[in-house]
Amino acid sequence: MLYANETLQLELGATVAIETQTDTLYVQRQSQQWRLYKQARPHAQCNLDQALVVSQRIPLPDNLEMVKSWMSGEQESTLRIVPCMADRNLVLNLDKPIVVPAGRRPKFYLALPLMYQLYIGNSKQPFYEFLVERLPFSWFGSNTRRGELCYQFEAEVLQDYEQAAPIPHRAMLELRLCNRDTDHLSIDKINLPAQFLPVYKVDGSRYWTTALTITNEKLTDELSLHYAKSVPCRYDSLQLVSESRLRSEARTILRALEAIIG
Amino acid sequence: MELFQQIMQPLQGADGGAWLRALGYLVLGLVLRNIIVSGMRKYVDNHTSPHKAILFRRAISYLVLFVFVLIALSELGFHSGVLLAVAGVLSVAIGFASQASTSNFISGLFLLGEKSFKVGDIVAVQGTRGEVISIDWLAIKIRTFDNLYVRVPNDDLIKGHVTNFSKFSIRRLDVQMWLALETDCAALEKLLNQTIVHEQAFLHQPAPELFRLHVGVLGIQVQYSVWAQQEGFFTSRSKLIDLIVPAMQNAGVVITQTPSVVQGQDNSFRMPYP
């Protein structure tokens, strides 16, 4: 299922510019085709102030690098810009370790970086997808042999989600850590399975994803991950913007301790 | 000669109908082989590695053909007992004549169990480096980076060293340099890390490190190590050098001349100075 978030109608020859932290993307409609150009900004000018600002009816600058073109053989005038979760897991390195005492289950909130997808016409497959923020790659695993390549991101660990201002390129996650072991659980980095999370738009202003519970089972090296069915916050209107990239066969899955918490 | 005549005798008694039936069985065998191989392709391709899929397909293909050739020969009047006896004699003779092939075949079975590499991996075997394009019962085939086709017998793989560059998803890039003795290595490490921090090609974890290796007549030998994805490794290495060398020059770090010495087999250096 696909739910359009931002839908734009472009005339022939019209161009739309979308700002990210590091680049400006130009999408131009031509006769029976669309073209995507990218212009990188110097490091000094890279910031998130203008992130996701969409400018319409602008002239296409000269000397742009064309990334790809879309040729369908039809006159398609619709461009949809849809947020979704990242295509890899997200790793959060905590400045200071969090210690969860034995038998406790604290919850906190994190803002997860989103990817955006561009769809042309009624296509169910995106033409292009991009990260708004520059997320470096990071290896998450017990050694360089076992582990996975993830995006590393920075976020504040919040006790109350109302402390956080809505950010268009982040989705809020409620994370509950349940320590059933008899020892304290110390966490210095955490691997969040972004590909299993959907994106919802709450009250037309803020993105949320479903709550995630990580349980440290008693006397074992295994963690169970439980995905909730809906968002944990209060809302008047809720819209599913994009479904999770991958589906877990059960809402609760088991993974080794070191695969989630470094 | 007598054995040959004994084997060929049934052919003289075979009529046209027997020949047609034998031909029919051969055609049926070919058709059945194609159906079975294409039928198992979907399953095998999804459930096993590419090289095992190739080997399974070939094994099944030869087995089906062998059975139908036996049936066709039976139709022509051959007795399967005689055929198997001949096959036994021939296999001993062939076995003696082709010890190398047998050795390669058995080595191939060991390789299959070891899973040291698979089709598509980049490997180095006895000075040959390239992409594995096929793993067969007797030999593997490698396409080198200058597009040469190299056949390496399985026996050589079992006896020698094989380096697989694609086994793990990430790899370390090492750049070794000699620096002037006055170099502040801690400050240099900070500078290098800041230089590459915005490049997506380099991983943040494991973190980059500047190893101080030696202090010698040429200055301090250091190694800057950065982790990158296996995919695009060579591009990442070029990018790393393109970034750090100008950054060091701008910061006034003096890279001393590379020592003009030859590394010996025993890892020692013939120094140009007494």
Please give the CATH topology (third level) of the domain spanning B2-97. Answer: Helix Hairpins (1.10.287)
Closest Cα in chain A, distance from residue B201 (Å): 8
Nearest CA in chain A to B196: A136
- Given a cut of 70, whether residue A249 has pLDDT beyond it is no
Distance from CA of B207 to the nearest CA of A (A): 9
On the question of pLDDT at B257 being above 80, the answer is no
Q: A32: which 2 tokens?
A: 């029976």
| Dist. CA B77–CA A141, nearest whole Å | 66
Residue with tokens 């800041």: B194
> CA A229, A235, A239, A245: dihedral to nearest 10 degrees?
-40
Instruction: Please state, in angstroms and rounded to a whole number, the distance separating the CA atoms of residues A64 and B95.
Output: 66
Q: Which helix (H) or strand (E) is B195 found in, with range?
A: helix B185-196
Q: Which fold has domain B170-259?
A: Alpha-Beta Plaits (3.30.70)
Contact A60, A154 (CB under 8 A): no
Query: Are the CB atoms for B54 and B44 separated by under 8 Å?
Result: no
The Cα of A206 is separated from the nearest Cα of chain B by a number of Å equal to 28
When comparing pLDDT for B28 and B90, which is higher? B28
The gap between the terminal CA atoms of chain B, to the nearest Å, is 78
Chain A residues within an 8 Å CB radius of B198 = 43, 46, 134
Q: What is the mean pLDDT of residues B30-38?
A: 84
* A141-179 residue pLDDT tens: 888 888 899 999 999 899 888 878 888 899 999 999 998
pLDDT, residue A232, reads 85
Rounded average pLDDT over A38-58: 80
Mean pLDDT of B220-231: 93
Tens-place pLDDT, residues B129-147: 999 998 888 889 999 989 9
Angle at A221 between CA A217 and CA A223, to 5 degrees: 50
In this prediction, residue B268 carries a pLDDT of 46
Structure tokens at A169: 């390129």
Count, in order, helices (H) and strands (E) of chain A: 1, 20
* Residue of chain A nearest B170, judged by CA positions: A144
Q: What is the mean pLDDT of residues B238-264?
A: 82
For residue B198, the 8-state DSSP code is T
Could you report the predicted ipTM of this complex, rounded to two decimals? 0.74
Chain B positions touching A139 (Cβ under 8 A) are: 170, 203, 205-206, 227
* Domain parsing of chain B, residue ranges: 2-97, 115-164, 170-259
Inter-chain residue contact B227 with A46, CB threshold 8 Å:
no
Q: Which two structure tokens, joined as six digits, stand for B25?
A: 């069985």
User: Where is average pLDDT lowest: A84-88, A158-162, B35-39, B147-151?
Assistant: B35-39
B115-164 CATH fold:
SH3 type barrels. (2.30.30)
Could you tell me the residue ranges of all domains in chain A? 6-82, 86-113+136-260
DSSP code of residue A126: -
**% of chain B surpassing 70 pLDDT:** 83
Nearest CA in chain B to A142: B206
CB of A136 within 8 Å of a chain B CB? The answer is: yes
User: Rounded to an integer, what distance in angstroms lies between the CA atom of residue B20 and that of residue A17?
Assistant: 73
Nearest partner of B177 among B235, B254, B236, judged by Cα: B254
Q: How far apart are CA A62 and CA B97, in angstroms?
A: 71
